[in-house]
Amino acid sequence: MRDIRLSSLRICLEVLRRQNLTAAAQALNMTQSAVSKNVQQVEAQLGAPLFQRSKGGVIPHDNARIFLSRLAEGIGTIDAAVEAFVGSHGSGTLRIVAPPIIAQRFLIPFHHDLVARHPDQELVFRVRTAPGQRYADTDAEIFFNGGGSPPPTAQWLIGDRFWVVAHPSMAAGLALKDIVQHPLLQHVKVETAWFQLAERQEISLAATRFHHYEQYGLIIDAALQKLGIALVPRFLVREAVQSGQLKQIGAEIDFPGMGYYYQLVRHEKLSVSRKFFTWLKEIADTQA
């Protein structure tokens, strides 16, 4: 019993709240298989099942519901005690997992500002190249949501306003309806964006060539090298457009729900997390 991980018990509680593995995985920003594996490990260690699986979700057994309710009270007490202790000291370490572009634009260039404002806090960040990858020591994470509903516990950060951009030599005299004459640079996690834009502008993409990339940084580099037309969050290309390296084509496009989000993973880090997110949101707003 003593070998059951607290993180696994938290996952079981989320499954109890949602009564659906997929919904719990989305709320936790984990894969469904990872959630299922944690639940199975806890059940194996307890020696009894917690949930009855069905096509519509999961149903907790009566004794499991009582057990998990008591567990929630205990974890709440632990979180409150840790939060009170950390808050009274006003210091701590926050381990962040973030995409490369966020590290390049915010965490690295403005780290000195964070240190100056909160010298009693330490930020340790890990750059994630595999989408959805989470590490055992993760306190909080920043992730990109390419569409659909983000986890309810996630806080929106930046990135829902997009510009179509290209090298000035390609963009000269080019209207949005003409972009199909060139390759379109496609982010593999935002495959609907170009098609949403085409639908709004009544543009056919039937004969369009797409070049696929996994990072916005690479898409911007490709646009600078005249490899195609890019559809990129405004904050990532504003400086390049202002300096004349890239040129905006057409008007700004809103994609509600898309963008980068911040989510706290370990609730005992709430006090430190609040200070960090307040700082990060302020920096992001100045860059938007």
Q: What secondary structure letter does DSSP report for 258? A: -
Using the 3D structure, point to which of 86, 113, 129 is the last residue of a domain: 86
| 120 within 8 A of 164, measured Cβ to Cβ | no
Tokens of 15: 């499954």
- CA dist 79 and 69 (Å) reads 15
| 194 within 8 A of 187, measured Cβ to Cβ | no
Q: What is the pLDDT of residue 86?
A: 57
In a domain, 224, yes or no: yes
pLDDT digit string, tens, across residues 40-80: 999 999 999 999 988 778 999 988 888 988 888 888 777 76
The verdict on 241 and 282 lying in the same domain is no
- CA dist 172 and 201 (Å) reads 19
Domain containing residue 272: CATH number: 3.40.190.10
| 124 within 8 A of 93, measured Cβ to Cβ | yes
Which residues make beta-bridge pairs with 59?
52
Q: What secondary structure letter does DSSP report for 210? A: E
In a domain, 166, yes or no: yes
The verdict on 118 and 132 lying in the same domain is yes
Q: What is the pLDDT of residue 212?
A: 95
The verdict on 126 and 193 lying in the same domain is no
- pLDDT of 89 over the 60 cut: no
Domain holding 111, by residue range, is: 91-157+259-287
Angstrom distances, CA of residue 86 to CA of 121, 125, 267, 271? 11, 20, 11, 7
Q: How many CB atoms lie within 10 A of CB 241?
A: 15
Mean pLDDT score of the chain: 88
| 179 within 8 A of 229, measured Cβ to Cβ | yes
In a domain, 1, yes or no: no
pLDDT digit string, tens, across residues 119-169: 888 899 888 766 556 666 788 999 988 877 788 889 999 999 999 999 999
- Strands of 146-271, DSSP E: 155-158, 161-166, 184-187, 210-213, 229-233, 247-254, 259-264
In a domain, 149, yes or no: yes
φ, ψ of residue 128 to 5 degrees: the values are: -100, 130
The verdict on 69 and 97 lying in the same domain is no
- CA dist 7 and 29 (Å) reads 14
- CA dist 150 and 142 (Å) reads 12
- Nearest Cα neighbor of 164 from 237, 233, 255, 249 is 249
